Amino acid sequence: MLKLQRVSASIAGITVLRDIDVSLPPGQLLAVVGRNGAGKTTLLRAIMGLLPISSGRITLDGIDLGGAPGHRRTALGIGYAPEDRVIYPTFTVEENLRLPCEVLGLPSQEISQRLDRVLDVVPQLAPMLARSGAALSGGQGKMAALGRALMVGTRFVLLDEPFQGLAPVLANQYAESLRRLHQSDPALCIMVTESNRSLMRDLPDATLTLERGELQSEAHETP
């Protein structure tokens, strides 16, 4: 289990996350809802080790992640799809998906098996594999970013505002992918941020609200 205990973080001297206490238990689809500037992206970046925390602890199975850099967290099975996607335009979609696993030094057979699993969950990616990253629409880029996060996120997948700006058809497909993922991998923990709660549909097992860097409520079962 991934646990944040009284985690605070600052950007340019301003406290952006304040005493965050949250657990990411296996098998949960956890929503973090908060308006623009609430600190959603900062929270995910702190979990990924892309932003130093100023106090508190982040532990995985009781072990302090301390200053472990992003690539070490990836190696621990934490996948992250940032808000701005970051699909490399000069690589094909398949290369974009394989890249983080190659960086981790995984054998190519293992990478191919993971890719097959990702395509089971996000079948829309199959016809895009040979295309260049530059040829994707914004929505297709979000699908590719989900696929890439799943390639390394064997235990935790962190998705930053995945539904934002998606056309309704793609949003439905994305939600279906999350549902399939949640069902097919019951131990996986999925954390999704959104500014608009309704975009999450009935997917979350629990929803937390982030307001000006503070978590407003304990996890509660959504009806």
Ligand X SMILES: Nc1ncnc2c1ncn2[C@@H]1O[C@H](COP(=O)(O)OP(=O)(O)OP(=O)(O)O)[C@@H](O)[C@H]1O
Q: Is residue 41 part of the contact set for Mg ion (CB under 5 A)?
A: yes
Given 11, 86, 130, 167, the residue binding ligand X (CB under 6 A):
11
Place of tokens 């503070």: 214
Backbone phi, psi, residue 61, to 5°: 50, 40
CB 199 → Mg ion: shortest distance, Å? 14
Task: Residue 142: count other Cβ atoms within 10 Å of its Cβ.
Answer: 25
Min dist. Cβ of residue 43 to ligand X (A): 7
Q: How far is the CB of 40 from Mg ion (least distance, A)?
A: 5
Rounded Cα–Cα distance for residues 6 and 123 (Å): 39
Minimum separation from the CB atom of position 64 to ligand X (A): 23
Least distance CB 15 / ligand X (angstroms): 9
- What is the Cα–Cα distance from 159 to 138, expressed in whole angstroms? 15
Q: For ligand X, which is the closer residue by CB, 29 or 51?
A: 51
Strand, helix or coil for residue 37: coil
Stretch binding Mg ion (CB under 5 A), from 83-91, 129-137, 184-192, 204-212? 83-91
Distance of CA 182 to the CA centre of its chain: 13
Among residues 4, 18, 40, 215, which is the contact residue for ligand X, using CB under 6 A? 40
Site map (CB under 6 A) of ligand X, residues 181-220, x = contact: --------------x-------------------------
Q: Are 92 and 132 in contact (CB under 8 A)?
A: yes
Q: Kindly state the smallest distance separating residue 78's Cβ from Mg ion, in Å.
A: 18
Backbone angles phi, psi at 164, to 5 degrees: -60, 120
Residue 121 C-alpha from the chain's centroid: 15
Judged by beta carbon, residue 95 or residue 214, the one nearer ligand X is 214
CA-only gyration radius of the chain, Å: 17
* Helices within the chain (DSSP H only): 40-47, 70-75, 93-103, 108-121, 138-152, 168-184
Nearer to ligand X, 11 or 134 (CB): 11
Q: Quick one: which segment of 40-48, 86-94, 169-177, 181-189 binds ligand X (CB under 6 A)?
A: 40-48
Under the rule (CB under 6 A), what is the footprint of ligand X? 11-12, 16, 34, 36-42, 83, 195
